[in-house]
Structure 1
Amino acid sequence: MNGIKYAPYCSRNTKHKNKTAILALILHIDTATAIGSVSLSENGVALETMENIEQRDHAATVGIFVKTLLERHHRSAEELDAIAVSAGPGSYTGLRVGAATAKGLCYTWNKPLIAVSTLQMMANGMKAAYEGADVFLVPMIDARRMEVFTAVYNKDLEPVLEPQAMILETQSFDPYMIAKNTIFFGDGAPKWQVLLGVRPNASFPAYHISAAHMVPLAEKSFASKHFEDVAYFTPNYLKAFYHPGKK
């Protein structure tokens, strides 16, 4: 299938330090940006991730990914413990697709719903590259013109600046860059890099968004039984409407 990527993903640490940890089989869905993906995890480790890397119509591929992953790993819907979804911010249409799919599966299969912040998911995905370093992680999702969806996280993935829609200005992140090395990444980072220019303590590494980056966050929510009300859950849009194909 054109634009479809099979992306096996292995965790560095396949053992839980806490032997009493609750382990689960979780399906993860991310359609918040131009790249849509679905990952299947077991016991906190992503078994495999499937990605739509070219098409913008996530609605046409997410269901196929879910079915294929379960079949390839010889799992049934009954064996799933929960469904996790990337809850935004991001593309208005993409978030609606992900939420509708996840809620539909939860209703059909009688499974709990876990919501994971898209920005925190991205920060978790970048965290491994800076393991042990005291840095600020700043995921950026492109919005319109000079606007991005962004937040600032510390090395423990705690929000220092809460998720928000921000119109970029040259001084937007000065307090963080003055304090320590600040990592900007995501599809909104390139325009910020152009605006900012070369600055000390500002790094712009490559980043590829993936539902696999949700795994430890969803596992934590499952262990603490932090579930959403399936009937009333809505994504965190942050603003009224955003479509990645329109500028």
Structure 2
Amino acid sequence: MSYILSIETSTAICSVAIHNEGKLMANADLYLEKSHSNSLTPLIEQLLHHCDLQMKDLSAIAVSSGPGSYTGLRIGLSTAKGLCYALDIPLISISSLDSMTIQILNFHKEDNSIYIPMLDARRMEVFYKVSDRDMVEVEKMSNLILDEDSFSNYISNYKSVFLFGNGAEKGFDLLKNQSDKFILIDKVNPSAQFYGEMAFKKFKKEHFEDLAYFEPNYGKEFYSPKSKKKSFLDLNR
């Protein structure tokens, strides 16, 4: 038995799942803004209890490698690393965008088509990646400010261009006028329940992350605006 706990916190959804050799045993998704820090550990404990498992039964932990929310990814990774250290088990990273593509391929695996998951990066910017029906990378993960010509290079070469994720939903009105080959699939979010097959493949090949040095790919440099309040030292000037 190879029980893998998966943690997905790249968006506002706090998502956990347990798989046995790639097969889903149970999952829980909590749709609550800014809840990760308070909800993640209780969700994990409840899921283990539901599956009649203990922490010591876990073989590995899979966690989102990004892109997505800086705070969400940090909370997920710190929890995963802490458990891996305590249990002496390996850490596996999974792309949030790949977890979205896997969902779509369960229902829309079509020849001569490509799949573009998009996560909202504020305003008209998105994080995205392009893959084919076999999950082969066509264009690596990047960020892009959407306009009416975005992804136009794929129209002539493919029968269908599937767009999904909250980034696709906000930008579809810009893109749909290019071609009817663009197909929007709504309500697709990163979820730990779709980590199973990818995580188990990495587990068997021992594609593990370094617990000391692994960091998520946030998609772009984290920006923290400076406070307009003066510091304590400034007040004495």
Query: Scaled by the length of structure 2, what TM-score is found?
Result: 0.89
Counterparts of 2:176 and 2:162, CA distance in 1 = 14
Larger Rg: 2
- Give secondary structure in 2 for the equivalent of 1:40: strand
Opposite residue 53 of structure 2, the aligned amino acid is: R
Q: 1: distance between equivalents of 2:150 and 2:173?
A: 14
After superposition, give the CA deviation of every residue in 1:50-70 in whole Å (9 maximum; x if it has no partner): 111123221111101111111
Which ranges in structure 2 are unaligned for 5 or more consecutive residues? 225-237
Which amino acid counterpart does residue 191 of structure 1 have in structure 2? K
Alpha carbons 1:144, 1:242 under 8 Å: kept: no
Q: Once superposed, which parts of structure 1, at least 4 consecutive aligned residues long, lie more than 4 Å away? A: none
- Is residue 190 of structure 2 the alignment partner of residue 209 of structure 1? yes
Matching residue's letter, 2:84: C
Separation in structure 1 between the aligned mates of residue 90 and residue 189 of structure 2, nearest angstrom: 28
Partner of 1:33: 11
Which among 106, 119, 125 is matched to residue 128 of structure 1?
106
1:183 and 2:162 aligned:
yes
Distance 2:112 2:204 in 1: 27
Helix, strand or coil: the match of 1:120?
A: helix
Q: 1:193 to 1:242 in 2, by over 3 A?
A: farther
Aligned length: 221
Contact preservation (8 Å) 1:90, 1:242: no
CA RMSD of aligned residues (A): 1.5
Contact 1:31 1:86 in 2 (8 A): yes
- Select between 39-48 and 123-132 the one with higher mean Cα deviation: 123-132
84-93 or 53-62: bigger deviation: 53-62
One-letter amino acid of the structure 2 residue matched with residue 192 of structure 1: G
Equivalent position of 1:219 in the other structure: 200
Tell me what 1:76 maps to. Answer: 54
Contact 2:96 2:190 in 1 (8 A): no
Question: Cα distance 1:90–1:30, how it changes in 2: closer, same or farther (>3 A)?
Answer: same
Q: Does 1:102 align with 2:80?
A: yes
1:45 corresponds in structure 2 to 23
Gap change, CA 1:148 and 1:242, over 3 Å in 2: farther
CA distance in 1, matches of 2:113, 2:223: 30
Q: Does the 8 Å CA contact 1:91/1:242 hold for their aligned counterparts?
A: no
Measure the CA separation in 2 of the matches of 1:212 and 1:133: 25
How far apart, in 2, do the equivalents of 1:39 and 1:177 lie? 36
Report the Cα offset of residue 132 of structure 1.
4.6
Select between 78-87 and 48-57 the one with higher mean Cα deviation: 48-57
**Structure 1 unaligned blocks of 5 or more:** 1-22
Q: C-alpha distance in 2, partners of 1:93/1:159?
A: 27
Identity of aligned residues (%): 38
- The residue type paired with residue 217 of structure 2 is N
Q: Is the 8 A contact 1:177 1:200 kept in 2?
A: no
CA shift digits 1:29-81 (9 cap, x unpaired):
00001111000111211111111112322111110111111111111111111
Pair 1:24 & 2:25 matched = no
Which letter maps to 1:143? A
Contact 2:67 2:218 in 1 (8 A): yes
Structure-2 separation of matches of 1:68 and 1:242: 35
Query: Aligned partners of 1:57, 1:88: CA distance in 2, in Å?
Result: 18
**Residue 95 of structure 2 is aligned to residue 117 of structure 1:** yes
Q: 2: distance between equivalents of 1:210 and 1:147? A: 22
- Please say which of residues 123-132 and 42-51 is displaced more in the overlay: 123-132
Q: Deviations over 1:201-221 (max 9, x none)?
A: 100012243111111110110
